[in-house]
Structure formats: C-alpha cells, structure tokens
Amino acid sequence: MRTVQRKPFYISASVSCMDLCNLESQIKEVEQSSVSFFHFDVVDGRFNDCFILGQTTLEKMRPVTALPIEVHLAVYEPEKYIESFAKAGADYISVHYEAMQNPLATFDLIRKYGSQPVLAYKCTTEPGDDFISLSREVPMILKLTVNPGFSGQKIQSQAVEHIRKMRRMLNNAGLTADIQADGNINITTIPLVTQAGANVLTGGTSGLFTGKKSISENALDMLRAIKPHIPAS
C-alpha cells in the first residue's frame, strides 16, 4: 500500500477529468508535476445520474504509476465493491457517510483488504454529531463541493461552510485529519476552500486539466493560489 506524504497543502489529480484515450501519457505528465496522488471517481448511476470508471481501468492504471490512488466510491452499498477495488490497486478508498449502514464496520473492511479508509460527504451534507468519532478512524475527509460525476459545475457555498465547520470541530477535538475539497477547484475557488480549512485540492477540468497550460504549470498555479486558513477555536 502506497501512502500520501503529508504536507500542509497538496493536490490530487481527478482521473475522470484526464484524457482517457491517452491515459498512460497523462499519468506520466501528472507524475512529473507537484501532484501527490490520483483521485479515481467511481459512480454507479444511482448515487448520481451517471457512470464513471471501474475496476478494469484501475487494474490497467495501477502498474504504470508509483503515485498513491484514492478510489472515491460514490455508490450505494459500497461494502460490495471494497474488496475488488482494493485488489485492483486502491491505496485509499473513500466511502460516503450517506451510503454506509455501519461506518466503523466499513472502515474495518477497507483496512482488512489493505487500503486506508477515507470518510466522504456530499456537498449538501453537514457534519453531524458523529463526525468526530468517525474522523478518528480516517486520515482524510473528502468533502464534495459539487455533485459527484459531472464536470463544469460551480462550487456550492454551503459546502465551503461545511468545510469550515469540519475544520473547527477537528481542531477542537485535537485532530489533524486532512480535508480534501473536490469540485470546481481552481485558482479562483482555492482561496475560499483553503481559508475554510481544506488542505487537499482535487484538480479537475477547471484547475489541473484546463488544456490551456501544462499539468505542471496548472499544479503550480493551484499551489500559488492557496491562502491558509486561520485555525478555528
């Protein structure tokens, strides 16, 4: 299992936003940039109205990159898919709060198959009373800032406020889990999410894979746009 080297701020690359017809060459470009890991979206057509990626793509991708891969299971009944994605090469598996019947058992299942669990929330879901107890089990929180599966959406202000609340709750509990912001993350929105408390930025079509600059240039632009948050008390 590969692990992400923790930094104050870092970037993930959204695989669904890459050129899938030239995936291997794009992977090499990402590896030459300041990106820290890959974010691999899986959508089942029920959790949101589209289908994205699957185990076969992950199996092909795993041997050609040394970077960690986080599989984001935007699916119902995620427990059914954990073993297959872990065996296909997932280093981290993000599972949705909204889709789990027993989060602690799901986290244990992920660890059983050699991956690390990540706790994910939809853009509309506010952290509840169990947020801290669940956060103690994971190295990272994934907070969607748009609906999963469709590029081109605008960041939702309520999701930014949820990030702010999450970071405040983590700080008050003495926890240092990463918060990854995913959706419409670019040089304009990065100050919003980092000031709120996110420290991991998912690079997609509006930030990392714009087609206007190289991936390396875009990654540097994203890092330059960061404005660190003031720790909440």
Cα separation, 21 vs 57, in Å, equals: 12
Find out whether 169 and 224 touch, Cβ atoms under 8 Å.
no
The secondary structure of residue 199, as a DSSP letter, is -
Tell me how far the alpha carbon of residue 124 is from its chain's centroid: 16
Question: Could you tell me the two tokens for 214?
Answer: 């190289």
User: Per-residue b/e over 114-132, b at no fewer than 16 CB within 10 Å?
Assistant: ebbbbbbbbbebebeeebb
Given the residues 41, 44, 91, 178, the one annotated as active site:
41
Give, in order, the Cα–Cα distances in Å from 213 to each of 32, 205, 206: 14, 12, 11
Cβ atoms within 10 Å, residue 175:
14
Active site residue 41: yes
108 is catalytic: no
List the beta bridge partners of residue 10.
200
59 CB burial (10 A radius; 0-12, 13-18, 19+): middle
171: left (phi over 0), alpha (psi -120 to 50) or beta: alpha
Asked if residues 75 and 46 have their Cβ atoms less than 8 Å apart, the reply is: yes
**Among the listed residues 163, 225, 153, the one whose alpha carbon sits nearest the alpha carbon of residue 183:** 153
Active-site residue list: 41, 182
